């Protein structure tokens, strides 16, 4: 990892300079748009930040780990995705939501990860109305499946999302969720 990237990763740990942390977050996240060779240099660090960081750091770590999933030849994410799922239930809803919204990046990496993400999110969708902001959670899950479909063109993903939408009893929300699937 080059020194500039290392500096930005260090800044992710700062709690006293939110602007620097945010700029570093944007920088590191942009690098994860493509596979990187240094994923394992920060992997465990990001896992730890998921658990010990403040709400901003937990969100950042979840999003960066999701982005690093494509740079995981050792397939660590098959195990570590469970830590990402934990953050999708964070006490801070914005942290939970950002973490949930980034899971599509994990789901597109391999059939195994797609299966894990799909299983967990299906359960979450089915039980979301027991949560505060349940309709937003459902909306994020449907949008996530739409992003996965756009990247993979896997018709099973589309069919699965549409079958979840069919379960929605409120016509207003059903219409909203179907809006993600308009051509």
Which letter does DSSP use for residue 17 in this model? -
**Segment 117-150, tens digit of pLDDT:** 999 999 999 999 899 899 999 999 999 999 999 9
The alpha carbon of residue 122 and the mean position of all alpha carbons in its chain are separated, in whole angstroms, by: 15
Predicted confidence at residue 145, as pLDDT, reads: 97
Residue ending a domain, choose from 85, 102, 119: 102
**Segment 4-51, tens digit of pLDDT:** 999 999 999 887 888 999 999 999 999 999 999 999 999 999 999 999
Cβ–Cβ under 8 Å, residues 12 and 5: no
Quote the CA–CA distance of 105 and 33 in Å, as a whole number.
9
Q: Is 103 helix (H, G, I), strand (E, B) or coil?
A: coil
Residue in 47, 57, 55 with CA at minimum distance from that of residue 85 = 47
Mean per-residue pLDDT of the chain: 95
Q: Are 15 and 73 found together in one domain? A: yes
Residue ending a domain, choose from 80, 102, 124: 102
Q: Are 95 and 116 found together in one domain? A: no
User: What is the average per-residue pLDDT within 61-72?
Assistant: 97
Predicted confidence at residue 156, as pLDDT, reads: 96
Quote the CA–CA distance of 14 and 20 in Å, as a whole number.
8
Cβ–Cβ under 8 Å, residues 78 and 112: yes
Q: Which of 96-105, 108-117, 127-136, 144-153 has the lowest mean pLDDT?
A: 127-136
Q: Are 85 and 167 found together in one domain? A: no
Q: Are 120 and 90 found together in one domain? A: no
User: What is the average per-residue pLDDT within 152-171?
Assistant: 94
Q: Are 150 and 66 found together in one domain? A: no
Q: Which domain holds residue 21?
A: 1-102
Q: Are 48 and 98 found together in one domain? A: yes
Predicted confidence at residue 183, as pLDDT, reads: 65
Residue ending a domain, choose from 65, 84, 102: 102
Total domain count, the chain: 2
Tokens 């939970």 correspond to 96
Does 80 score more than 80 pLDDT? Answer: yes
Q: Are 43 and 83 found together in one domain? A: yes
Which letter does DSSP use for residue 15 in this model? S
Q: Are 12 and 74 found together in one domain? A: yes
Predicted confidence at residue 16, as pLDDT, reads: 83
Provide CB contacts within 8 A for 60, sequence distance 6+: 12, 21, 25, 49, 53
Q: Are 82 and 59 found together in one domain? A: yes
Quote the CA–CA distance of 170 and 9 in Å, as a whole number.
44
Q: Are 119 and 94 found together in one domain? A: no
């Amino acid at each position: 990892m080059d020194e500039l990237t290392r500096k930005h990763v260090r800044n992710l740990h700062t709690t006293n300079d939110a602007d620097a942390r945010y700029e570093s977050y944007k920088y590191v996240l942009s690098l994860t748009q493509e596979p990187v060779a240094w994923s394992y240099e920060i992997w465990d660090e990001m896992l730890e930040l998921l658990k010990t960081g403040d709400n901003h750091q937990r969100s950042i770590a979840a999003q960066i780990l999701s982005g690093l999933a494509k740079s995981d030849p050792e397939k660590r994410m098959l195990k570590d995705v469970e830590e990402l799922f934990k953050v999708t239930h964070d006490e801070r809803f914005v942290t939970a939501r950002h973490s949930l919204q980034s899971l599509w990046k994990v789901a597109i990496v391999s059939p195994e990860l797609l299966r894990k993400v799909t299983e967990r999110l299906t359960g979450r969708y089915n039980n979301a109305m027991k949560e505060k902001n349940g309709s937003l959670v459902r909306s994020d899950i449907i949008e996530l499946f739409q992003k996965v479909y756009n990247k993979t063109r896997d018709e099973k993903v589309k069919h699965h999302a549409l079958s979840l939408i069919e379960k929605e009893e409120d016509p207003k929300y059903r219409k909203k969720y179907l809006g993600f699937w308009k051509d």
